[in-house]
């Protein structure tokens, strides 16, 4: 077991879990983002070069959950509910109050939900640990997700796409597409030619 890892600027008296890997140039606002973290994977969270995870973000990761944030990703107070895998590509912008959930955790049956809620009372911290099936979420590079949006289990959002504020993304989004609404619908398509290639982005960040 390694020595506890603490953030010098942290207001919360917590530590970074041993199986969290982050580049030395990345910024984690506080260890409180791991308050609900339970991943037992060899690498439960990986944060890339120059990425920032700001105040209000939360990694609610189950025992088998894995989250990857690419290089120069900005996460502004988002919640990740992960029992399988959530992958966010390079140069993504995640606005405040965005929710990623690769599992519903709760059964759709009302009686099943009732039993799970009753059991949560005996847990510390109180939380839902239902065993609903999980499906990975994939977010391509250069994606912008607007505030208060929700990305549901099994969704893939293609490279260069934009999700409008307060959208519920229940189906895959093609690359270079603008979607919005509940459920999210295609608004328009973006010009691929105006976007830099992966090689160009590596030379000219942002």
What is the C-alpha separation between 170 and 116, in angstroms, rounded?
24
Confidence (pLDDT) at 4? 84
Nearest to 80 by CA among 25, 116, 17, 38: 38
Residue 156, beta-bridge partner list: 138
Confidence (pLDDT) at 196? 52
CATH superfamily of 27-203: Hexapeptide repeat proteins (2.160.10.10)
The mean pLDDT values, 10 residues at a time, for the chain of 206 residues are 84 96 97 96 98 97 96 98 97 98 81 71 68 90 98 98 98 97 96 58 39
Confidence (pLDDT) at 200? 41
User: Encoding tokens for residue 152?
Assistant: 């549901």
Confidence (pLDDT) at 100? 98
CB atoms within 10 A of CB 175: 18
Confidence (pLDDT) at 107? 66
Confidence (pLDDT) at 129? 66
- Interval 122-156: pLDDT, tens: 776 766 666 678 999 999 999 999 999 999 999 99
- B/e letters for 33-66, b = 16+ CB within 10 Å, e = fewer, are bbebbbbeeeebbbbbebbbbbebbbbbbbeebb
Give yes or no for a cis peptide into 156 (omega within 30° of 0): no
Q: Would you list the domain boundaries of the chain? A: 27-203
Confidence (pLDDT) at 16? 97
- B/e letters for 83-103, b = 16+ CB within 10 Å, e = fewer, are bbbbbbbbbbbbbbbbbbbbb
Confidence (pLDDT) at 204? 34
What is the C-alpha separation between 3 and 204, in angstroms, rounded?
37
What is the C-alpha separation between 128 and 36, in angstroms, rounded?
11
- The model's pTM is 0.85
């Amino acid at each position: 077991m390694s020595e506890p890892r603490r953030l010098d600027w942290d207001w919360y008296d917590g530590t970074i879990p041993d199986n969290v890997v982050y580049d030395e140039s990345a910024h984690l606002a506080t260890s409180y983002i791991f308050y609900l973290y339970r991943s037992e994977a060899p690498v439960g969270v990986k944060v890339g070069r120059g990425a920032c995870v700001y105040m209000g973000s939360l990694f609610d990761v189950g025992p088998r959950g894995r989250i990857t944030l690419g290089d120069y990703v900005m996460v502004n107070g988002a919640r990740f509910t992960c029992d399988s895998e959530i992958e966010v590509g390079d140069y993504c912008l995640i606005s405040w109050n965005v929710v990623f959930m690769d599992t519903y955790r709760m059964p759709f049956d009302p009686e099943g939900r009732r039993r799970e809620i009753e059991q949560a009372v005996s847990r510390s911290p109180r939380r839902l640990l239902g065993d609903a099936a999980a499906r990975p979420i994939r977010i391509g590079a250069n994606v912008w997700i607007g505030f208060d949006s929700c990305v549901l289990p099994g969704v893939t959002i293609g490279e260069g796409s934009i999700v409008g504020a307060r959208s519920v993304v229940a189906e895959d989004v093609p690359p270079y597409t603008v979607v919005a609404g509940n459920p999210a619908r295609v608004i328009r398509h973006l010009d691929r030619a105006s976007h830099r290639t992966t090689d160009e982005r590596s030379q000219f960040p942002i």
